[in-house]
Structure 1
Amino acid sequence: MQENILVVEDDASLADWICDYLTDHDYQVTQANRGDIAVELIESDNPDLVLLDIMLPKKDGFEVCREVRQFYTNPILMMTACSEEADEVLGLELGANDYINKPVKPRILLARIKALLRRTDNSSPGSYSRVFGALRLDANSKTVSYKTQPIALSSNEFEVLWLLASNAGQVISRTQLISQLRGIEYDGFDRSVDVRICRLRKKLLDDPHNPRKIKTIRGKGYLFAEDAWGNA
């Protein structure tokens, strides 16, 4: 069964090129050139993945991402012509799973899409829950509670927490995190994981200056401390 990708891009020539390229690689592709239309299509069609440009008429990509994350749980890959880190961080905070810079390189685009869809496929129901004292994680519903209180996490934040918790007591390097979360090699400049961990610490009441729950192991990576979450 073909996976359906919604391409949201107002540059007609670029959109047509992307759609043709993805079709050639056996994806079913739908196209939208405005943000408001994209929201309607995402709600009605529930595509397997949304490739979302930032600069759009009617509603920009940030607005679209913020709005659809209320009901849409599949991956969002944002495209940006701007190299500003603030835009990339904002997209991630609003619920985008990944971003890709323009001009779009076809093989990188395909690799990012495959990685995001592969992660979705691997999230099938099963023994997908984790409990560490007062912390509870459920991968099926992507929900977290701590000390009986629900913790609102973006899908990106949940993915990082789930990966760390699944390797509790082990140091996970930035290279490993980015490779598993984004399907690419760490280039020494990507700070998306750091942003997510910073936000996780804040939401999980972990002291950012002396973290005990999600520790930074200098020069090595991050460690999820399995015995730092108190009693259930």
Structure 2
Amino acid sequence: MGLLIESRPSELAYIERVWRSRSENVSQMMSVATSNWELVFWEHQGQVEAAVLGPEAKATPAPVPEDAVFFGISFALGTSMPHIPVSRLVGGNAAIPEVTRRSLWLKGSAWHVPDYDNAEMFVRRMVREGIVDLDPVVPAVLGGASPDVSGRTLQRHFVAATGLTQGAIRQIHRARQAAVLIQEGVPAQEVVHRVGYFDQPHLARSLKRYVGRTATQLSGPGVREPLSLLYKPRPLGPA
């Protein structure tokens, strides 16, 4: 069957998306580039594990344990866990030790393992206890605000808060948006104009780098390797 993924948005400002999935008869996926870091739990052959996954600056093949179940919280841009800097996690992860089906240890305290329906309750507690913080400058700038600081200062701010430059975040966002439109049946030439590419070769290079697929592969059957979570992202304001 592949990788069966279900996801939902969240009204909580700290969360970009909540998702869960199951792997069936698949051993590898294409992990699509993402600007967001995630907290992910999975169970395979009775063993439960968890990790903080950092942003991914490009699409990369990733192994998938067969017959496993996954649950994840994708955090909003600008959020961070101060004791695990996002800038150190780009393209990597940090394992969370001592996880069972019911509990985990997080920064010296015991926590109930969250699930798809109570992720917001879990994250609210993380915020109350200072484990997760939100830098309001990042979502404000991505929404179109213009803070009174130099471009260099703002760039350093973005890298510290997200692990990526503002330009990289926008490129990843645009590629994901284009991929979803193509999957919905929008012709590539129209996608070029909708999301602001120069031409179709520009779109093709972006898709290959950030999604790991061509427009043809996204619009038709025949690619056995599934993609990781891909959804229509929230719109960003002008740069």
What TM-score do you get using the length of structure 2 for normalisation?
0.28
- Which has more helix, going by share of residues? 1
Task: Identify which of structures 1 and 2 has the higher relative contact order when contacts are C-alpha pairs closer than 8 Å and 6+ apart.
Answer: 2
